[in-house]
Structure formats: structure tokens, C-alpha cells
Chain A
């Protein structure tokens, strides 16, 4: 019940295309869902996050869509750029916080 399942494992997108990564969770106590971006040799960087009272959140080219009834959430990267090539992790957390459960990660390659 603590797992977060992420798909696909890898993704290749052409420059300018839309990258979509999906995650699913089981624990209904989760109330915070962030996405992280990680480049080789770096720590994960917080990209965008959402709480279950909102169905969509957009920050620049990054959008989270959240479906509470299906217990799924996804990251959309619009106008994907080669600089977006990285590993993306979804995660979930619940009270009292401080513990993130991560998906297995998606390696995104954006081809020029």
C-alpha cells in the first residue's frame, strides 16, 4: 500500500513534443504529490507538486494532472526540449510528512 508505480520506465520524445509520465498510488492517506527532476551526478530537484484538492496545476511548461478517484497523477511536459532530458521521479507523502515514497523513475530523452 506504500508503493507508487511509475510508467513508462523510459521515454523518447522529439523536440517540441509532449512528454507524459504517469504514476499510480494505493494509499489514500497520501496528500502531497511532487515531481522531481534529476540530472546525472546531481540530487533530485523539485519541479512541481500538487495536493488532492486540485485536479490540475501548471507551472510554465510543466503540468500535473491529478485524478483522485483513480488514484493516479501524471506529469505533462509541453514543448519538450533537449535540456529536459533527465530522469523524472514522482513521489507521494502523507501525514506527518517528511517521508517521500518515490516511483521507480522515468528516463526521458528529447531528441533535437
Chain B
């Protein structure tokens, strides 16, 4: 099976712009979670989607949003970018149904905000 894919792999944006990142989960996986990874804060949970519904949400401002489509593909959006949003954004998919545990990560999208 193909792994989790994320596009684009690299992005450079200017402060104030918005950005959309895409994630395709492993075939058959219905849960998709997003994480932000920075050297200072480590890996932090953003949100999780299951069957097109947000099931869990981390402590990030409303500028961070996401959605999931009927084919389980997911997108996350960051509006009004700030310099501190520069990070590696990771998507993870999980095979379980109602309860998701094992998560498999994609390679990430490296976002640089200038």
C-alpha cells in the first residue's frame, strides 16, 4: 500500500497570506490527524477528522482550520500567516474506525513564512 502523501512538500509564503495543505491517507484509512512540528514546541496536535467530521481539536487559534472529504483526503488551511507559523506540518492517517490509535505519518509539508 502507498503511504500517506502530502502536497506540496515545501512552501514559502509571506506574512498575511493564507495557505492550504493537502493530505491523502493510506487507502482504507478513515481518520486523518494534523500536527505541527517546530524545534521549540515539538510535535503538537492540531485536529483530527473522521468521516468528514472534526472529532478532536488542539489548542491552536481559529486561523488554523481543516476539512475532510468523502474519500478521506484532508486539507488544512492557515489564514493570515504569521512568522511563527513556520513549521513542518505533518498529516497522519489511522486505520481504526470509531477509535483511532495507530497513526502513520506522511513526510510533511515544510512551510516557511517570510
Contacts and interface: CB of A to CB of B under 8 A. Distances in A.
A46 B104 contact: yes
A25 interface: no
Contacts, number: 67
Contacts of A98: 31, 33, 48, 50, 55-56, 94, 100, 103
B43 to A, nearest CB: 4
A99 B45 contact: yes
Contacts of A34: 102-103
Given A44-B43, A104-B42, A105-B42, A99 B58 contact: yes
A76 to B, nearest CB: 21
B105 A44 contact: yes
Interface string B70-88: 0000000000000000000
Interface residues of A, number: 24
Interface size band for B: 20 to 34
B101 A93 contact: yes
B107 A97 contact: no
B105 A97 contact: no
A32 B100 CA distance: 10
Interface of B: 4, 31, 33, 35, 42-45, 48, 50, 55-56, 58, 90, 92, 94, 96, 98-108
Given A32-B101, A99-B56, 14 more contacts: A34-B102, A34-B103, A44-B43, A46-B103, A46-B105, A89-B42, A89-B43, A93-B101, A97-B94, A97-B99, A98-B50, A98-B55, A100-B33, A102-B42
